Amino acid sequence: MYGFEAMTFNIHGGYLEAIVRGHRSGLLTAADYNNLCQCETLDDIKMHLTATEYGPYLQNEPSPLHTTTIVEKCTLKLVDEYKHMLCQATEPLSTFLEYITYGHMIDNVVLIVTGTLHERDVQELLEKCHPLGMFDSIATLAVAQNMRELYRLVLVDTPLAPYFSECITSEDLDDMNIEIMRNTLYKAYLEDFYRFCQKLGGATAEIMSDLLAFEADRRAVNITINSIGTELTRDDRRKLYSSFGLLYPYGHEELAVCEDIDQVRGVMEKYPPYQSIFSKLSYGESQMLDKAFYEEEVKRLCLSFEQQFHYGVFFAYMRLKEQEIRNLMWISECVAQNQKSRVHDSVVFIF
């Protein structure tokens, strides 16, 4: 039905699209970031933020402020907005919105499992979890000893259950296993999300497949770089790549055999969209890769707002807001630790 969304989209999605576009215009602008980067103390940051959309969330915080409070309150705002939208949404938008949070759920599961492995307090771990990825029985994760139990006890109730089919083993949990589990889950999640968007069709499918493909490719590169020098075999590595995206399938074959960062670079530069990312980096450098990917992602997310009548804007907004919170966290950390010279290192301007 491509091209005909305009006739019916607004029946169910019009209100929420208006809401999300309204939220988007509340995102901090380059001028805001410039002002924020000039702040001397966290109080200055608070003062500046109270003049923005974050005002009501920060104004009641007592004055010696911590970075965590700022981040917490900003995240709270995001969560409130998300919950509001989810309440208002009807099918299939509500499912789409729920899909957005699964990534956080995977991260939270991994966080708790790793934490309990290292015998950290569960309550403490729960505080670190992203509020978007919370589910009822998340605290129970600490009970499980191996993957099978993890699945049988807790995750079978969650939307993540279907993604688990590939990693049910009776092996005891260790760091390596958990990391593999994270990536397997993520792979299954992305593929599922991709299929869901394809099923929605229209502009949503077109835009989301582009955004998800980028996400999948970025994960593939990250997996490759992180697994260099570990005992992960090539086949295992290839199993973790999602089966779509620009790199699929030939790029994956080449990535699977990479031995160092420059080989990865060689593979990626064959793909024009990624050429520009890697051309910014000098050889052998992987530090700035994250930022380069983030910048590219933000650019793509912003572009999705140029088209109307599709669900991609919700995904894009959530991602942009998360990026904004990351930015705020970085700026506040720099200010708090007197490292103002490094403030520009990791801030990605959204507009």
Partner 1 sequence: MDLMRSEKMTLVQLIIPVESAHRAVSYLGELGLLQFRDLNDDKSPFQRTFVNQVKRCAEMSRKLRFFKDQIHKAGLLSSALPTLQPDVDLEALETQLAEHEHELIEMNANSEKLQQTYNELLEFKIVLQKAGVFLVSSKGYENAEGRELDDSVYPSDYPESASLLEQATQSGSSISSGLRFISGIILKSKVLLFERMLFRATRGNLLFNQASADDLIMDPVSSELVEKTVFVVFFSGEQAKTKVLKICEAFGANCYPVPEDLTKQTQITQEVLSRLSELETTLDVGIRHRNAALHSIGFHLTIWMNMVKREKAVFDTLNMLNFDVTKKCLVGEGWCPIFAKPQIQEALQRATHDSNSQVGIIFHVMDTVESPPTYFRTNTFTNAYQEIVDAYGVAKYQEANPAVYTVITFPFLFAVMFGDWGHGICLLLGALILIAREGKLSSQKLGSFMEMLFGGRYVLLLMSIFSIYCGLIYNEFFSVPFHIFGDSAYKCRDKSCRDAYTIGYIKYRDAYPFGVDPSWRGSRSELPFLNSLKMKMSILFGVAQMNLGIILSYFNSIFFNNSLDIRYQFVPQMIFLNSLFGYLSLLIIVKWCTGSQADLYHVMIYMFLSPFDDLGENELFWGQRPLQILLLLSALVAVPWMLFPKPFILRKLHTERFQGRAYGILRSSELDADSEPGSARQHVEFNFSEVFVHQMIHSIEFVLGSVSNTASYLRLWALSLAHSELSTVFYEKVLLLAWGYENFLIRMVGLAVFAFATAFILLMMETLSAFLHALRLHWVEFQNKFYAGDGYKFKPFSFAALADDED
Contact positions toward partner 1, by CB under 8 A?
35, 38-40, 43-44, 47-48, 50-51, 59-63, 122, 136-137, 139-143, 152-154, 157
- Nearer of residues 60 and 287 to partner 1, judged by Cβ: 60
Task: Give the separation between CA 44 and CA 172, rounded to whole angstroms.
Answer: 49
Please state the closest distance from residue 316 (CB atom) to partner 1, in A: 29
Residue that has been written with the tokens 């990693």 in this structure: 167
- Nearer of residues 50 and 177 to partner 1, judged by Cβ: 50
Task: Tally Cβ neighbours within 10 Å of residue 48.
Answer: 17
H runs (alpha helix) in the chain: 5-12, 14-24, 30-37, 42-50, 55-58, 67-88, 93-117, 122-128, 147-149, 175-200, 202-227, 234-240, 250-256, 261-268, 272-279, 289-303, 312-336
Please state the closest distance from residue 309 (CB atom) to partner 1, in A: 33
Please state the closest distance from residue 330 (CB atom) to partner 1, in A: 19
- Nearer of residues 48 and 120 to partner 1, judged by Cβ: 48
Task: Give the separation between CA 122 and CA 115, rounded to whole angstroms.
Answer: 8
228 sits in the region (left: phi over 0; alpha: psi -120 to 50; else beta) called beta
Please state the closest distance from residue 42 (CB atom) to partner 1, in A: 11
- Nearer of residues 32 and 179 to partner 1, judged by Cβ: 32
Give the chain's radius of gyration (CA, Å). 21
Please state the closest distance from residue 229 (CB atom) to partner 1, in A: 37
